[in-house]
Amino acid sequence: MTASALPRELRDLPGRLRDWAAAEGFSDAAVARPDLDADHEHLRDWLDAGHHGDMRWMADTASLRADPEALRQGTRSVICVRMDYGLDTEAAWPVLNDGSRGYVSRYALGRDYHKVMRKRLARLADRIAAVLGPHGYRVFADSAPVLEKALARNAALGWIGKHTLLLNREAGSGFFLGEIYTDLALPPTEARPGAYCGSCRACIDVCPTGAIVAPYQLDARRCISYLTIEHRGSIPEALRPAIGNRIFGCDDCQLVCPWNRYAQEAAVPDFAPRHGLDSAALTELFAWDEATWSANTEGMALRRAGYRGWLRNIAVALGNAPTGSAVIAALQSRADHEDTVVREHVRWALARHDAVAG
């Protein structure tokens, strides 16, 4: 349908949608073509190669991911949004370069984005209803089998970079994605995003564990984000030294990306760092007991690793930290931890300092 053939209330939809979204804290919004055939094929190849590791839920839901209608019956349009979380590259490097501190991915420092975004997406859906009429919808923010990056690319919110994240010329990649699946028939955006990686390969070269095995292809089994957040159990020993002091997620491939010079500040105060987690000492974090951890991570995405995962990750970072009596004492205090995985990582870390369980 040409723009002039559209009903009056839909003709200037792109601008109005952006305005309504901005009122809810979103930095951009647009309607996506739900054409995901090529992406479905890439997803299948990725799964066939085993690159999803033990994220079985990725394989179990593959067909739903590529088919919005199958995920929510009656879906006719997908509205995509982005929300900036504030990827402060300048503040990140000093923490990464100080082995005595723990590096928590910038996206996880504040309130859980799933909660923040879904609440605001529901309000955006209500705004749309107020103008375009009642509609059936569901909102998502990394909360269901949705190919979020591919849909956002189709909506022209950016392009998928060689590090496999969605990138935007005005905002880099420091943002979350969310969607509204609606039964309204909305005209998809006609713009086609350019792709601006060119000959750059900074993200591929910097990756500490070589997880970007080819441009646009990530082997999650090597990715520090996967190893420290999604993976349960033992972290492969060969990869532990390269994890450095990254205790929850990893931002390196984004920090070196030239487009993140344009990363925007956090769109909402919810994403402000909590409990000094943007530069806390490893020994201090390792001393949190389970009750403190539970209280301090309430309402944060940081919870996903679980308390034992948290201790396991910090043990690895302490193993990589400069040797010192405080580091060794902290590790020795957990050498007899009840959890076998934690214990094993603590012993590995002590051995790195030529120390033994005390």
Q: One symbol per residue from 82 to 111: x for binding ligand B12 (CB under 6 A), - otherwise; what is it?
A: -----------------------x-x----
Distance (Å, whole) CA 234 – CA 296: 25
250 contact partners, CB below 8 Å, separation of at least 6:
105, 208, 223, 224, 225, 228
Count the residues of the shown chain that bind ligand B12, applying the rule CB under 6 A.
Answer: 36
Encoding tokens for residue 144? 């269901």
Please answer whether residues 293 and 310 qualify as being in contact, where contact means their C-beta atoms are separated by less than 8 angstroms.
yes
* DSSP symbol at 334: T
Q: Enter the tokens of residue 105.
A: 């991915």
67 binds ligand B12 (CB under 6 A): no
In the bound state with ligand SF4, the residue whose beta carbon lies nearer, of 184 and 253, is: 253
Min CB(345)–ligand SF4 separation in Å: 18
Residues 157-176 that bind ligand SF4 (CB under 6 A): 161-163, 167
Interface pattern 189-208 for ligand SF4 (x via CB under 6 A): --------x--xxxx---xx
Q: CB 109 → ligand SF4: shortest distance, Å? A: 16
Q: Are 208 and 244 in contact (CB under 8 A)?
A: yes
CB of 235 to ligand SF4, least distance (A): 12
CB-nearer residue toward ligand B12: 182 or 283: 182
What's phi and psi for 246, nearest 5 deg? Answer: -80, 110
Q: 126 to 145, contacts with ligand B12 by CB under 6 A? A: 141-142
Closest approach of ligand B12 to the CB of residue 29, in Å: 14
Residue 271 Cβ, how far from ligand B12 at the closest point, in Å? 12
Q: Which whole-number Å values give the CA distances from 220 to 12, 56, 194, 223, 224, in the listed order?
A: 41, 12, 26, 5, 8
Is 24 a binder of ligand B12 (CB under 6 A)? no
Per CB under 6 A, the segment of 66-74, 228-236, 249-257, 304-312 that binds ligand SF4 is 249-257
Residue 252 binding: pick among ligand SF4, ligand B12, none (C-beta 5-8 Å cut-off by kind): ligand SF4
Q: Does 212 bind ligand SF4 (CB under 6 A)?
A: yes
At 217, phi and psi to the nearest 5?
-135, 115
Q: Which residues contact 118 (CB under 8 A, 6 or more apart)?
A: 139, 140, 141, 143, 178
Entry field: residues in the chain? 358
Taking residue 114's Cβ as centre, other Cβ atoms within 10 Å add up to 16
Closer to ligand B12 by CB, 301 or 346: give it: 301
142 tagged catalytic: yes
- Cβ-contact 247, 285 below 8 angstroms: yes
Is residue 160 involved in binding ligand B12 (CB under 6 A)? yes
Here's the x/- map for ligand B12, 206-235, by CB under 6 A: it reads as ----------xxx-x--x-xx---x-----
Question: What does 293 interact with, of ligand SF4, ligand B12, none (CB < 5 to 8 A by kind)?
Answer: none
Q: Rounded distance, CA 358 to CA 335, Å?
A: 8
Q: Does 252 bind ligand B12 (CB under 6 A)?
A: no
Assess 159 for contact with ligand B12 (CB under 6 A): no
DSSP 159: E
The reply on whether position 55 binds ligand SF4 by CB under 6 A is no
Contact 273, 87 (CB under 8 A): no
Residue 349 to residue 300: CA distance in whole angstroms: 27
Give the torsion sign (CA, 174, 273, 292, 322): positive
The answer to whether 75 touches 182, Cβ cutoff 8 Å, is yes
Active site positions, annotated: 142
Contact positions vs ligand B12 (CB under 6 A): 39, 42-43, 46, 55, 58, 105, 107, 141-142, 146-150, 160, 163-166, 173, 175-177, 216-218, 220, 223, 225-226, 230, 249-251, 253
Contact positions vs ligand SF4 (CB under 6 A): 161-163, 167, 197, 200-203, 207-209, 211-212, 218, 223-225, 250, 252-253, 256-259
